[in-house]
C-alpha cells in the first residue's frame, strides 16, 4: 500500500513516499481504507522529533492522527460496524498517511448518523480536532452558558472548531486572535464577535469589553501569550493550555498569584485522554459527526492536497500560511 513517512527526524524534506504491507486488524480494531487524512500540527512535532526518534517497523514512522474512509475488515470482538461502512477514525499512535490503517474501534464512528450521512471529506477533519475542541471547552474549560470566550490561533483547525462549538455549548460572546492581519478576514467569517491580531490582544480585548475581559481563554500558543491571557480573565476565569505553537521557553506562574486573583490554569492533551478515558473521545467524535451531518458545524477544510504533497501540507502549516483545515487525498 502507498504511504508517506520518515526514517529520521527533521524538516518537511524527510517525508518520503513508501510502499508498506497492509495492516491486519487485531482484536478490538477496525481496518479502514483511507479516502482522506487530516493534517495537524502534532504531526509536524512528530516529524521534528518532539515525540522521539522513529521507532515503527523497519525504523519508519507514518504520521497522521485522523482519517475518513470505509471499513475494510473487523478484528475479533468488534460490533456495531460493517465492512464497507463509511467511517471517521482518530489514531492516537499516528499512521494516517497510508492507504489502509488499523484503529481502535473505540475511536471509530460511522458517518451514517441520526441526522444524516456526513461527507467524508468534511468528516476527515473532525476526529482529532473536534474532540480536542470539546475537551478544551467542556472538560478543561468548564464552559457555562452565558460565558465569554477568547480563542487564540482562531483561524487554525482547533480554533475554527472551538468557535463553532462554543456557541453550541452556550457561550455568549466569542473572540479570537490570529498571528497576522492577513488571517483576520478569514477568522471573522467563522462567526467570532471580534478578531484581533495577537500582538497587543490584551489591550484590544480590554477595550472592546469595557474592561470586563472574558471567562475562558483557549491557548495553544504558550509563552507571553499564555501569561498575558491571565490578565484578561474575569474572577474565576480559566486559561486552558493545549499546545506550544510558539515553541517558547516553558512558562510558569505562581500558585499564590492564582489563588489571590481567583484565576485558574488548566491543561488538555488528547493523547492522555485517549489513554485514560478513551470512551470520551468516541463520544465527542459521535457528537461532532451528528452536528456536521445536520449542517450545524463545518470542519473548515480549506485545501485538499494529494498524498504525494504531504511535505507541502506540512510546510504550509508550519510556516503559518495555512488557514483552516488541510487534508490529504488518496484518490
In a domain, 248, yes or no: yes
Predicted TM-score of the model (pTM)? 0.91
From CA 171, how far away is CA 272, in angstroms rounded?
26
In a domain, 137, yes or no: no
The residue among 217, 251, 267 that closes a domain is 267
Do 262 and 292 share a domain, yes or no?
Answer: no
Inter-axis angle of helices 310-318 and 41-48, nearest 10: 100
DSSP for 165-224, written as a single string: HHHHTT-S-EEEEESSGGGHHHHHTTT-SEEEESTTHHHHHHHHTTT--EEEEEESS-TH
Grid cell digits, residue 225: 501569550
From CA 84, how far away is CA 91, in angstroms rounded?
19
Query: pLDDT digit string (tens) for 30-74?
Result: 999 999 999 999 999 999 999 999 999 999 999 999 999 999 999
Do 207 and 283 share a domain, yes or no?
Answer: no
Do 263 and 276 share a domain, yes or no?
Answer: no
In a domain, 316, yes or no: yes
Main-chain dihedrals φ then ψ at residue 215, nearest 5 degrees: -90, -25
Do 112 and 67 share a domain, yes or no?
Answer: yes
The residue among 224, 241, 267 that closes a domain is 267
Do 275 and 262 share a domain, yes or no?
Answer: no
Among 100, 29, 31, smallest CA distance to 64 is for: 100
For residue 300, how far is the Cα from the chain centroid? 12
Do 168 and 260 share a domain, yes or no?
Answer: yes
Do 124 and 155 share a domain, yes or no?
Answer: no
Range of the domain at 175: 142-267
Do 186 and 209 share a domain, yes or no?
Answer: yes
Query: Which residue has 491571565 as its cell numbers?
Result: 230
Do 6 and 109 share a domain, yes or no?
Answer: yes
The residue among 216, 236, 267 that closes a domain is 267
> What pLDDT was estimated at residue 53?
96
> What pLDDT was estimated at residue 270?
95
Do 71 and 155 share a domain, yes or no?
Answer: no
> What pLDDT was estimated at residue 247?
75
**Total tally of structural domains belonging to the chain:** 2
Helices (H) and strands (E) in the chain, counts: 11, 17
Pick out the chain residues at pLDDT < 70. Answer: none
Do 261 and 285 share a domain, yes or no?
Answer: no
In a domain, 46, yes or no: yes
In a domain, 133, yes or no: no
Helices of type H across the chain: 41-48, 120-123, 129-134, 157-168, 184-188, 201-208, 224-229, 255-261, 270-276, 278-293, 310-318
Do 303 and 263 share a domain, yes or no?
Answer: no
Please, are residues 90 and 65 in contact by the beta-carbon 8 Å criterion? yes
We report the CATH number of the domain holding residue 18 as: 3.90.180.10
Please, are residues 77 and 100 in contact by the beta-carbon 8 Å criterion? no
> What pLDDT was estimated at residue 157?
86
In a domain, 136, yes or no: no
Among 154, 217, 220, 218, smallest CA distance to 191 is for: 154
In a domain, 134, yes or no: no
Q: What angle do CA 279, 67, 80 make, to 5 degrees?
A: 45
In a domain, 309, yes or no: yes
> What pLDDT was estimated at residue 173?
97
Amino acid at each position: 500500500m502507498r504511504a508517506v513517512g520518515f526514517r529520521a527526524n527533521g524538516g518537511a524534506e524527510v517525508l518520503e513516499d513508501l510502499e508498506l504491507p497492509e495492516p491486519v486488524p487485531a482484536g478490538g480494531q477496525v481496518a479502514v481504507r483511507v479516502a482522506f487524512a487530516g493534517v495537524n500540527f502534532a504531526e509536524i512535532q512528530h516529524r521534528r522529533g518532539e515525540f522521539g526518534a522513529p521507532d515503527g517497523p523497519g525504523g519508519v514512522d507514518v504520521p497522521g492522527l485522523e482519517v475518513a474512509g470505509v471499513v475494510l475488515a473487523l478484528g475479533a470482538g468488534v460490533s456495531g460496524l460493517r465492512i464497507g461502512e463509511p467511517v471517521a477514525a482518530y489514531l492516537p499512535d499516528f499512521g494516517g498517511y497510508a492507504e489502509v490503517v488499523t484503529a481502535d474501534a473505540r475511536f471509530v464512528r460511522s458517518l451514517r448518523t441520526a441526522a444524516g450521512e456526513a461527507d467524508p471529506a468534511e468528516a476527515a477533519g473532525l476526529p482529532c480536532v473536534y474532540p480536542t475542541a470539546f475537551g478544551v471547552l467542556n472538560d478543561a474549560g468548564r464552559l457555562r452558558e452565558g460565558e465569554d470566550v477568547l480563542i487564540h490561533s482562531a483561524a487554525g483547525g482547533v480554533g475554527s472548531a472551538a468557535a463553532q462549538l462554543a456557541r453550541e455549548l452556550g457561550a455568549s460572546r466569542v473572540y479570537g486572535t490570529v498571528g497576522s492581519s492577513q488571517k483576520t478576514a478569514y477568522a471573522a467569517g467563522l462567526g467570532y464577535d471580534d478578531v484581533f491580531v495577537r500582538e497587543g490582544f490584551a489591550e484590544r480585548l480590554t477595550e472592546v469589553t469595557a474592561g470586563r475581559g472574558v471567562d475562558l481563554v483557549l491557548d495553544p500558543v504558550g509563552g507571553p501569550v499564555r501569561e498575558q491571557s491571565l490578565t484578561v480573565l474575569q474572577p474565576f476565569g480559566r486559561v486552558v493550555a493545549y499546545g506550544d505553537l510558539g515553541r517558547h521557553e516553558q512558562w510558569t506562574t505562581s500558585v499564590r498569584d492564582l489563588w489571590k486573583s481567583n484565576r485558574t490554569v488548566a491543561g488538555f492533551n488528547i493523547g492522555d485522554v485517549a489513554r485514560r478515558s478513551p470512551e470520551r473521545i468516541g463520544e465527542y467524535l459521535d457528537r461532532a459527526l451528528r452536528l456536521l451531518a445536520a449542517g450545524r458545524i463545518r470542519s473548515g477544510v480549506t485545501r485538499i492536497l494529494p498524498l504525494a504533497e504531504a511535505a507541502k501540507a506540512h510546510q504550509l502549516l508550519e510556516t503559518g500560511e495555512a488557514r483552516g483545515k488541510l487534508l490529504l487525498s488518496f484518490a
